[in-house]
Amino acid sequence: MAAHTPASIPDGTSATTDRRRHAVGTEPLLSIRDLTVRFTRAGEEPFTAVDHVSFDVHPGQTVGLVGESGCGKSVTSLAIMGLLPRRGNEVTGEVMFDGTDLLRLGASEMRDRRGRDVAMIFQDPLSSLNPVVPIGLQVTEVIERHRRMKRSEARPIAEELLRKVGIPDPARRLKEYPHQLSGGMRQRALIAMALACEPRLLIADEPTTALDVTIQAQILRLLRELVEESGTALIMITHDLGVVAGLCDRVNVLYGGRIVERADRHELFAAPRHPYTNGLLASIPRLDAPRGRRLDPVPGSVADNLPWDSACAFAPRCSQPIEICRERTPELVDEPSAGPRPRALRCHNPVAPEDQVTAAGRPPSAPSTATTATTTTRTTGTATPAGGGASVAAPRDVVRDERADRPDPSSHIDRHGRPDQPEETR
Ligand SMILES: Nc1ncnc2c1ncn2[C@@H]1O[C@H](COP(=O)(O)OP(=O)(O)OP(=O)(O)O)[C@@H](O)[C@H]1O
């Protein structure tokens, strides 16, 4: 194992390799340090959903939070937004946004920041939109409130925003209610609302999970264009590595409330170091896999209150645990990186290069994760596809990355995890 130094935070950026010019050489816009969220449940031990999570987001950067259901992605984003329930939880650490710790703001100050500085798009647009208020009025009201404008001034801006997010005939659509729009149109309307105040940070929590694949592709493309155009920073929360491949600059892989691996996207896809990341990559369905080949899921499922205090919480599901994994908690430490920013890894026994699942698929020498796991989970003992479900198909151009400096291994992987073909060979 490589000699480790403590994981360096904040991430450095480099003018030569960062694809987003507005992210270069800037201070982080958002700097999260040791964010911890504990829920107290009646008659039960406190439950730590997010455990000392630290990461940075620079202006114009898209940072992914990836992991299976229950690993703490949404709780992290709700903590940033100040949207966790008032009671029954304890939030500690720092969420520094442009020099202000959002965790220390009062409710009204935070309300003021929400929308203006930080906005969020949720998975299910119906639950975020008011069903009895026309779409246009909802967007208009956000503009009125946050930009302190009269309704007559805000309405044309709302119409323009709906046009910008690809809603056809926005003058007519302004008058429609959420139930009159399709799922994709509702998500576009929600994105328009989120953008209405020109936030500096946008958090998208699984924004395409509820949509069919064609619409998913359109929404992801729209998000990509909007952040590129405006320089808005984006936190993308997803269990889908195809989404990560298409959108993110930097990726944090979460397991049991802790970050287990962090790397620039192309480094993560080229050489996953944590067995969990490797397992997530192996569990992506591939259309080019030989007929009859089984998926390679990460065995078991995430348990509540994982034993991070005394061991590696992933050890019971790991394909290559060694003795120390059950005896000592691995720290998140820096790893050598070929790129401009350090990688970080929390693992006693990282995946060897010959066992890494990359864009080209599982290496022939590597046995299946499911069959090599020596221990099953403490919860169900069942094998479930990582990410809580199968990755779905989408047009390749969603994940092909025109912005990337070549070579970029992750730009050659499509949403099925299969190697993407160069343009001219399609
Ligand atoms: N209000 C709450 N009270 C108690 N526990 C909670 C609460 N909200 C979330 N949790 C628990 O915190 C853990 C992390 O939940 P979170 O929603 O962040 O997971 P996630 O990674 O976003 O998963 P998914 O992809 O399914 O949304 C889960 O075990 C969840 O049950």
Q: Choose between 96 and 20: higher pLDDT.
A: 96
Task: Give the distance (Å) from ligand 1 centre to CA of residue 395.
Answer: 31
d(CA 68, CA 83): 21
Q: So what's the pLDDT on residue 380?
A: 28
| Cβ atoms of residues 274 and 41 within 8 Å | no
Paired tokens of 81: 């937004």
Would you state the torsion angle of the CA atoms of residues 16, 18, 22, 25, taken in this order, to the nearest 10 degrees? Answer: -60
| Cβ atoms of residues 250 and 263 within 8 Å | yes
Q: So what's the pLDDT on residue 398?
A: 32
ipTM of the complex: 0.97
Label the pairing between strands 118-121 and 201-205.
parallel
Tens of pLDDT, residue by residue over 203-252, are 999 888 777 777 788 888 888 888 888 889 999 999 888 888 888 999 99
Q: So what's the pLDDT on residue 304?
A: 62
CB of 313 within 6 A of ligand 1: the answer is no
Average pLDDT for 341-358: 92
Q: Where along the chain do its domains lie?
A: 118-198
Q: Choose between 369 and 65: higher pLDDT.
A: 65
d(CA 327, CA 280): 25
Question: Sign of the C-alpha dihedral, residues 75, 79, 84, 86?
Answer: positive
Strand partners, 100: 97
Task: Give the distance (Å) from ligand 1 centre to CA of residue 73.
Answer: 8
d(CA 191, CA 201): 13
Within 10 angstroms of residue 75's Cβ, the number of other Cβ atoms is 21
| Cβ atoms of residues 114 and 82 within 8 Å | yes
Q: So what's the pLDDT on residue 54?
A: 97
Average pLDDT for 40-63: 90
Q: Choose between 239 and 396: higher pLDDT.
A: 239
CB of 72 within 6 A of ligand 1: the answer is yes
Which residue lies with its CA nearest to atom 18 of ligand 1?
72
Tens of pLDDT, residue by residue over 280-301, are 988 776 666 666 656 666 777 7
Task: Give the distance (Å) from ligand 1 centre to CA of residue 250.
Answer: 23
Q: So what's the pLDDT on residue 295?
A: 63
| Cβ atoms of residues 373 and 383 within 8 Å | no
Q: Can you give the pTM of this predicted structure? A: 0.79
Task: Give the distance (Å) from ligand 1 centre to CA of residue 6.
Answer: 28
Helix ranges, 148-261 (H)? 151-164, 170-173, 183-195, 213-230, 241-247
Q: So what's the pLDDT on residue 362?
A: 57
d(CA 328, CA 139): 51
Taking CB atoms within 8 Å and a gap of at least 24, the contacts of 323-327 are 324/348, 324/349, 325/349
| Pick from 175-184, 222-231, 328-337, 410-419: least confident | 410-419
Which residue lies with its CA nearest to atom 12 of ligand 1?
49
Predicted confidence band of residue 27 (pLDDT cuts 50, 70, 90): confident
CB of 69 within 6 A of ligand 1: the answer is yes
Q: So what's the pLDDT on residue 423?
A: 27
CB of 256 within 6 A of ligand 1: the answer is no
Tens of pLDDT, residue by residue over 251-267, are 999 999 999 999 999 99
Ligand 1 pocket test target in 36, 39, 50 with most atoms within 8 Å of CB: 39
- 365 burial (CB, 10 Å; 0-12 / 13-18 / 19+) is exposed
Which residue lies with its CA nearest to atom 2 of ligand 1?
39
Q: So what's the pLDDT on residue 174?
A: 84
Ligand 1 pocket test target in 51, 73, 84 with most atoms within 8 Å of CB: 73
Tens of pLDDT, residue by residue over 103-148, are 999 988 998 888 789 999 887 777 788 899 998 899 999 888 888 8
CB of 85 within 6 A of ligand 1: the answer is yes
Predicted confidence band of residue 361 (pLDDT cuts 50, 70, 90): low
Percent of the chain with pLDDT over 90: 39
